């Protein structure tokens, strides 16, 4: 036993380093993670006393019960709490509209170990991969069957709790808490297939000052009457309306049309519709929310395929005010 884990043997290929399973860089100090050329059958972690342990790679269709027991023991060692408690905390984040936060926290304690894997372009940690796939599947169930977050997680638990194979299942994102995770998983394993999301499910909360043509009409139109407005391209940061949407759509382009009415007392009303152009999911730093810096880095490190997200439908808006200054 080392660190509370029963160690499977580290099977080496090629040159075996003095650490017992991989060759470490010169200048490596025990107790720190280092870039290394992996030579083993599982992920290698260097402990403070210079020992190593290995975990199963995520190459099979599912994690076995025995492997999950090993991952749970590892999780308890890394997190300092019981695995059951840690997973309850992840569920709590998910049902409180922060599934991404749960994955981001798990990223910090699992994929940080990939500093041992030189230029790895795949997710090698089975536990992390399983949670990404589970949350992705939960989004598919939520979109298909209109389930709540907790209902979707219960269905995943009853269907394929240890799954390691990504399936699109549906190309429609729910727009809910799990959508950023499915979008990320689809980048890694979706082979470039286009996804779609209903514009009414992305939490848009557009104000007059965010629509340049409407804002200028409010400021310049003095005569009473009804005026048709049409603006074909409006840059828009979804993160301002929804952290969830900002996590996978980032900045998008809207188009607006509708009727602007000014009355004799100076009040105004705008009745119109908002549509959106197809977005490209590509981990471009200029198009991602700064809140996603951690997973954005993951997207650049790991090998994935860019794809498009079709934002379909139209979003009806009715804005009103008094005077000649658009209110935020």
pLDDT attached to residue 90: 96
- Judged by DSSP in three states, 277 sits in coil
CATH number of 200-322: 3.30.450.400
pLDDT attached to residue 46: 43
- For 150-199, how does the pLDDT look when each residue is reduced to its tens digit (9 = 90+)? 999 999 999 999 999 999 999 999 999 999 999 989 988 999 999 999 99
Q: Under a CB-based contact definition with an 8 Å cutoff, are residues 81 and 54 in contact?
A: no
Domain ranges of the chain: 22-124, 128-197, 200-322
pLDDT attached to residue 258: 98
What sign does the CA torsion over 190, 102, 8, 12 have? Answer: positive
Q: What is the maximal distance between C-alpha atoms in the chain?
A: 85
pLDDT attached to residue 121: 55
Is this model's pTM higher than 0.85 or not? no
pLDDT along the chain (328 residues), means of 10: 30 34 39 36 44 60 85 82 96 95 85 48 77 96 97 95 94 97 91 97 96 96 96 94 89 96 96 96 58 51 82 97 86
Interatomic CA distance for residues 39 and 83, integer angstroms:
29
Interatomic CA distance for residues 206 and 328, integer angstroms:
9
> What distances in angstroms separate CA 41 from CA 9, 13, 56, 61, one per listed residue?
9, 9, 7, 17
């Amino acid at each position: 036993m080392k660190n509370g884990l029963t160690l499977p043997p580290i099977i080496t290929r090629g040159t075996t380093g003095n650490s017992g399973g991989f060759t470490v860089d010169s200048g490596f100090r025990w107790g720190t993670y280092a870039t290394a050329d992996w030579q083993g059958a599982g992920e290698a972690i260097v402990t403070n006393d210079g020992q190593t342990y290995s975990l199963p790679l995520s190459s099979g269709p599912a994690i076995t019960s025995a492997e999950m027991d090993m991952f749970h023991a590892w999780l308890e060692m890394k997190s300092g709490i019981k695995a059951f408690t840690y997973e309850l905390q992840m569920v709590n984040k998910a049902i409180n509209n922060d599934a991404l936060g749960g994955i981001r926290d798990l990223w910090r304690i699992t994929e940080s170990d990939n500093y041992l894997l030189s230029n790895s372009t795949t997710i090698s940690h089975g536990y992390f991969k399983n949670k990404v796939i589970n949350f992705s599947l939960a989004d598919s169930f939520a979109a298909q069957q209109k389930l709540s977050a907790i209902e979707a997680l219960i269905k995943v638990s009853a269907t394929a709790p240890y799954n390691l194979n990504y399936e699109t299942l549906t190309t429609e994102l729910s727009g809910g808490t799990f959508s950023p995770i499915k979008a990320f998983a689809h980048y890694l394993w979706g082979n470039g297939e286009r996804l779609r999301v209903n514009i009414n499910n992305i939490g848009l909360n557009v104000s007059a000052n965010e629509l340049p043509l409407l804002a200028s009409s409010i400021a310049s139109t003095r005569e009473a009457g009804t005026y048709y407005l049409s603006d074909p391209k409006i840059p828009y940061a979804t993160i301002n309306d929804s952290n969830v949407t900002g996590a996978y759509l980032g900045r998008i382009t809207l188009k607006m049309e509708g009727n602007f009415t000014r009355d004799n007392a100076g009040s105004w009303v705008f009745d119109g519709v908002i549509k959106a152009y197809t977005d490209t999911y590509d981990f471009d730093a200029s198009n991602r929310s700064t809140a996603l810096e951690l997973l954005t880095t993951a997207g650049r490190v790991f090998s994935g395929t860019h794809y498009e997200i079709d934002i379909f439908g139209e979003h009806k808006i009715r804005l009103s005010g008094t005077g000649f200054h658009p209110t935020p």
